Amino acid sequence: LPEHLYSTNNFPELKNDLMLRAARGEKTERVPVWVMRQAGRYLEEFRAMRAENEFFKVCQTPELACEVTLQPIRRFQLDAAIIFSDILVVPQALGMTVEMIPGKGPSFPEPLKLPEDLSKLDKDVDVNKTLGYVFDAITLTRHKLEGKVPLIGFSGAPWTLMCYMIEGGGSESMSKPKQWLYKYEEASHQLLNILTKVIIDYLVGQVIAGAQLLQVFESHAGHLCARTFNTFALPYLSIIARQVEEKVRAQGKEPVPMIIFAKGAHYAIEDLAQSGYEVVGLDWTVNPKTARHQTQGKVTLQGNMDPGALYASKEEIRTIVREMLEQFGTQQHIANLGHGIYPTIDPDHVEAFVDAVHSISEEINLD
Ligand code: 1CP
């Protein structure tokens, strides 16, 4: 590929800044919309790509990751792209093996079992060496997007990554990492600190590479309670927001808006609104009006249609979107699903969702 596509100095001018304005709490003429897991298995062009390439090979090859990132942008009037990668590239950077098993999901052949296993991690990872492929994918994608929409970078949050590193994969209960919280409190904090450090470097690197917003996925907040969230999740999330901003500035760059999506953290919405993030993502179990009341205009809210609602008819989807937009109000809102899209969703229904957000939010704003 030509050298200039890996240069961070000459990005095309951004033509659609709705997401950025909404994230900063500025006025928008309509509600911006993107979809968690908008690049993924519900798209046939993604499945075709995956049939030819192993999952982490797609992540590790900037041209392939860029292509998959652009697939939903070509189909739908989305207001942001999200770089194609996975939260589990961070445990890989720390030296752990992660495999993606078809039909099952991610699997760690050697998960962490006891506190002494922490010594096996490469604690002083240089993210430019271990995760430079993500930075290259981001830079390339910024060029290929031609300024159409902004590009979101992301990372898993410390507790969520700790879950996978100890549990060894997805789980109903996350009982193994939860045992660590109650049996090995000190080692838990050691691990969370190791993760926080690399996540900060990783997110800063993404901004330097060209990411225009950042989302932190605390996907397993729902396995915690208010007490354990306040001890093992929230302090690290706050440090990440603060230090990413500071370190981006120290490198002579403008900080970007940050989104925290803590799935299942309905008990922590007030605290999350004061944790240093511009945007708080809500899962579909949260009542938008309650969240507005709890956050008092301090942050922009993102979400939160039930991903299952995409199984409804297109007419019904419009009705559900209208109700959602009326509940949120059309300012300080970024429309999204309340979690990732399921692989069995019809792409035409995604289009119906996106188009409904556009037309209905514009209509409400004109009233
Ligand atoms: O074979 C395949 O193609 C696997 C499916 C798949 C995809 C498309 C996985 C495995 N990861 C991804 C991409 C991905 N993962 C993105 C891409 C960008 C986009 O949104 O379009 C993102 C942002 C993620 C983030 C991610 N990975 C999260 C956080 C979001 C969430 O869903 O809460 C989590 C928890 C993961 C772990 C993971 N990776 C893949 C799966 C199936 C899982 C979940 C495992 C589990 O807990 O059961």
Please give the ipTM for the structure prediction: 0.94
CATH classification of the domain holding 131: 3.20.20.210
Q: Is residue 125 part of a domain?
A: yes
Domain count along the chain: 1
The band of 238, judged by pLDDT with boundaries at 50, 70 and 90, is very high
Q: Which atom of ligand 1 is nearest to the CA of 58?
A: 3
The residue to mutate among 33, 34, 37, having the most atoms of ligand 1 within 8 angstroms of its beta carbon, is: 37
- Write down the pTM of the prediction: 0.98
Does 5 or 316 have the greater pLDDT score? 316
How many other C-beta atoms lie within 10 A of the C-beta of residue 278?
22
Cβ neighbors of 299 (< 8 A, separation 6 or more) are 25, 272, 273, 277, 278, 279, 280, 332
**Mean pLDDT across the chain:** 97
For residue 1, pLDDT over 80 is answered with no
Q: Is residue 93 part of a domain?
A: yes
The band of 2, judged by pLDDT with boundaries at 50, 70 and 90, is confident
Under 8 Å between Cβ of 23 and 300: yes
**End-to-end CA, the chain:** 49
Instruction: Using the mean position of ligand 1's atoms as its centre, give its distance from the Cα of residue 365 in Å.
Output: 34
Q: Is residue 126 part of a domain?
A: yes
- Residues 134-154, mean pLDDT to the nearest whole number: 98
Q: Is residue 15 part of a domain?
A: no
Count, residues in the chain: 367
pLDDT at 367: 81
Q: Is residue 336 part of a domain?
A: yes
Active-site annotation holds for 37: yes
Active-site annotation holds for 136: no
Q: Is residue 19 part of a domain?
A: no
99/153 Cα distance (integer angstroms): 22
The residue to mutate among 36, 60, 76, 86, having the most atoms of ligand 1 within 8 angstroms of its beta carbon, is: 86
Active-site annotation holds for 41: yes
Say whether the peptide bond before residue 10 is cis (omega within 30 degrees of 0).
no
Under 8 Å between Cβ of 239 and 262: no
Pocket of ligand 1 (CB under 6 A): 36-41, 50, 55, 82, 84, 86-88, 100, 105-106, 154, 170, 217, 219, 263, 340
Active-site annotation holds for 47: no
Catalytic residue, candidates 17, 86, 271, 283? 86
- Domain span holding position 64: 25-366
Instruction: Using the mean position of ligand 1's atoms as its centre, give its distance from the Cα of residue 291 in Å.
Output: 26
Span 6-57, pLDDT tens digits: 999 899 999 999 999 999 999 999 999 999 999 999 999 999 999 999 999 9
317/295 Cα distance (integer angstroms): 27
Q: Is residue 18 part of a domain?
A: no
Under 8 Å between Cβ of 341 and 35: yes
Q: Is residue 20 part of a domain?
A: no
